[in-house]
Structure 1
Amino acid sequence: MEDRKTSKSKTHNLILENREKLSLSGVEHVNSFNSEIITLQTVAGGLTIKGEELDVNKLNLEDGNLVITGVVHSLVYSSRDSIGSKGSGFLSKMFR
């Protein structure tokens, strides 16, 4: 049963309905959120969601499922390699 849960969590799906309801699977961690921006970590890399009146309706990190409502303006992925990689931040570039 443990193997099934592991393989299930390695998939990532995104369903956007009328730019007002966003359902995600494969979510590992929600980094931050407010009514205009939500940043999270998925099995496919980082994801930044921008919009208006964004609200996290359902969150289950055990299953990796998340439902967001509001007006979605953009979805931007960042590669898994660039997230938290050494030397990629502003301060690390300043102190080279």
Structure 2
Amino acid sequence: MERNTAEKQALPHGISLQDRKKLSISGVSDVANFDENQIIVATGWGTLLVRGSDLHVDQLSLDTGELRITGRIDCMEYDDNSTSGGFLRRLFQ
């Protein structure tokens, strides 16, 4: 069952990073793409790009909106144009 935009934004969104090795993200609605160097996460507050090395999705629960990533976290960046499909649209063109 797909959540509408208002419900997605109502999910509490938070990020917790421990020692640049363990990343926990709440408020996740989808993981659009991932490999060992980059993970693209959809949240109710925008698309989040996580870059690093040896990245692994350890746990993903779309029911609770929780995501856990391990590896070396080098960068986390939000795409401000994500509501219009900006980053994902550019990525897959």
Structure-1-length-normalised TM-score? 0.76
- Residue 50 of structure 1: aligned partner: 51
- Which residue number in structure 2 is paired with residue 71 of structure 1? 72
Aligned to 2:28: 27
Rg comparison, structure with higher value: 1
TM superposition outliers: structure 1 runs of 4+ over 4 Å: none
Residue 17 of structure 2 corresponds to residue 13 of structure 1: no
For the 8 Å contact 2:79–2:86, the answer to whether it is kept is no
Q: Distance in 2 between matches of 1:30 and 1:71?
A: 18
The offset of 1:82, in angstroms, is 3.7
Relative to structure 1, the CA distance from residue 84 to residue 14 in structure 2 (aligned partners, 3 Å threshold; closer, same or farther) is same
Question: How many pairs are equivalent?
Answer: 84
How far is 1:84 from its partner? 5.0
1:81 counterpart SS class: helix
The gaps in structure 1 that reach 5 residues or longer are 1-5
TM superposition shift of 1:89: 4.4
> Percent identity between the aligned chains?
34
